[in-house]
Amino acid sequence: MPSSPSIPVNPEVLRWARKESGYPTDRVANRLNVKEERVRAWEKGERQPTERQLEELAKFLRRPLGIFFLPRPPQLLPLGGEYRRLSGITPGQESPELRIALRQMLSRRENALNLMEELGDKVASFALRAHMREPAAEVGARLRDATGVELATQLAWPNEWRAWAGWRAAVEEMGAFVFLFPGVTLEEVRGLAILRDPLPVVAINSKEMPEARSFTLFHELVHVMLAAGKEELPAIRERRPAREWTEVERFAESVASHALVPESALRDALPSRAADRSWDLPEVRSLARRFRITPLAMATRLRGSGFMTWPKYNAWRQKWDEFVGTLRPRRGGFATPVEKAVNRAGRPFATLVLEALAANRITSVDASRFLDLKFEHFGKLGDHLREGASGVRQGE
């Protein structure tokens, strides 16, 4: 077979594209089945990739082919300037999987804004704010009120999946997008927030189990509220020392647990408990199930209201971690392509894409790409969205 001719790409852009995707040269070399020295030579301009290699490179780095011919690397806002500070993650050193997830979610938000303007929809500012000086219980109550979810509704949800769908819909109604992101380990990140206004984004790792998703959703929403209150900055600009940052995280945790389990509801669920009482795992699990949250979140909640002291909490936590260590990993349920697409992007975005398509504002290729869904499923997508949240099923 004749060898494919080499293509004169801009080596500086090639290096930029690789680094922007977070890949070291060896991973690129492995994927393209070439020696690492070859990739380095491309980046120095000493050699050029073939047409086939360039196509593979563009696919692997998730960039359009044309970018490699630009006279200089594009000037883009660093990803760390978009998301909130995350413990254990240095901006610019996110995993390639997290970087692509962030890019996808940022594009989705931008596309949503474009479509809303194209359709003449009003884009409202995110109104809810929080300040660190406020008591967490007060902010939690305000957040809970804003969701409009009655306690009776919450307690009547038949399972964690329904609870997650209910909370998600409530938060989307408040003017935030809620996305799920696949492909990232839970060890790296469980949830994150994109601190933009209007349309901030709360994003949850799709590997997270449903009862944990609800807590993470509220935790991230508190970060959005703090940013709206000018008390939190994106990761790259957030310079608080670690101890101060821990306070921010504790505040978010406490507000989230108060929003999910209001004080009065907690007291009603607890028959005369004293703070010095020891808690066993089944008791906390049973209580957690009532509110459709994780036992760990419930323990945090009990601690927050003084029903569990710090030493008792730490002892309980140790037992809990040991117990969790004995569990087999939970497997996600089956989800259809339509369910996966809607779970990833949320109903508001999916509806927006369908409206824009119906109004002929976008092509079918645009619509498929926006939702990462083959066009042959779009008929079912319409049915699924019309069915409403009642058809919630588990899966990605």
Partner 1 sequence: MDWQARHFPVDVFVGLSGRMDDLVLAQRLLAPALVREELDKVGTAGLKQWTDDHAGIFVRTGELLEQAQVIQGQFPGLLDPKAEFEEADAYVVALARMRDGIVITEETPASEKRNPRRTHFIPDVCRDLGLPCINLLGLMRREGWRF
Q: Do residues 46 and 60 touch, judged by C-beta distance below 8 A? A: no
Q: Do residues 269 and 290 touch, judged by C-beta distance below 8 A? A: yes
Q: Give the CA angle between residues 157, 108, 180 to the nearest 5°.
A: 35
Q: How far is the CB of 116 from partner 1 (least distance, A)?
A: 9
Distance CA 165, CA 194 (A): 20
Nearer to partner 1, 111 or 216 (CB): 111
Three-state DSSP class for residue 179: strand
Site size for partner 1, by CB under 8 A?
Answer: 37
DSSP codes of every residue in 255-267? HHHHHHS-HHHHH
- Quick check: 55 binds partner 1 (CB under 8 A)? yes
Residue 88, burial from CB neighbour count under 10 angstroms (0-12, 13-18, 19+): exposed
Give how far Cα 248 sits from Cα of 72, 135, 304, 375, 385, Å: 40, 13, 15, 44, 37
DSSP state of 348: H
* Residue from 1, 3, 33, 66 binding partner 1 (CB under 8 A): 66
- Quick check: 365 binds partner 1 (CB under 8 A)? yes
Q: Write the interaction track for partner 1 spanning residues 93-122; mark x where CB under 8 A is met and - where it is not.
A: -------x--xx-xx------x--xxxx--
The packing angle between helices 36-44 and 11-21, to 10°, is: 130
Nearer to partner 1, 373 or 392 (CB): 373
- Do the strands 191-194 and 201-205 form a parallel or antiparallel pair, or are they unpaired? antiparallel
Nearer to partner 1, 56 or 263 (CB): 56
* Residue from 368, 381, 384, 392 binding partner 1 (CB under 8 A): 368
Helices (H), 261-374: 263-269, 281-291, 295-304, 310-326, 337-345, 347-358, 364-371
Nearer to partner 1, 58 or 137 (CB): 58
Q: How far is the CB of 59 from partner 1 (least distance, A)?
A: 8
Helices (H), the chain: 11-21, 25-32, 36-44, 51-61, 96-118, 136-147, 151-156, 160-173, 210-228, 242-260, 263-269, 281-291, 295-304, 310-326, 337-345, 347-358, 364-371, 378-387
Q: Write the interaction track for partner 1 spanning residues 7-36; mark x where CB under 8 A is met and - where it is not.
A: x-----------------------------
Nearer to partner 1, 317 or 380 (CB): 380
Nearer to partner 1, 114 or 336 (CB): 114
- Quick check: 76 binds partner 1 (CB under 8 A)? yes
- Helix H or strand E encompassing 177: strand 177-181
- Quick check: 376 binds partner 1 (CB under 8 A)? yes
Nearer to partner 1, 17 or 86 (CB): 17
Question: Which of these segments, 60-68, 122-130, 147-155, 343-351, binds partner 1 (CB under 8 A)?
Answer: 60-68
Q: Write the interaction track for partner 1 spanning residues 345-364; mark x where CB under 8 A is met and - where it is not.
A: ---------------xx-xx
Give how far Cα 9 sits from Cα of 17, 62, 72, 232, Å: 12, 16, 11, 41
Q: How far is the CB of 231 from partner 1 (least distance, A)?
A: 29
Question: Which of these segments, 54-62, 138-146, 184-192, 266-274, binds partner 1 (CB under 8 A)?
Answer: 54-62
Q: Write the interaction track for partner 1 spanning residues 306-345; mark x where CB under 8 A is met and - where it is not.
A: ----------------------------------------
The residues of the shown chain that bind partner 1, judged by CB under 8 A, are: 4-5, 7, 51, 55, 58, 62-67, 69-70, 74, 76, 100, 103-104, 106-107, 114, 117-120, 360-361, 363-365, 368-369, 373-376
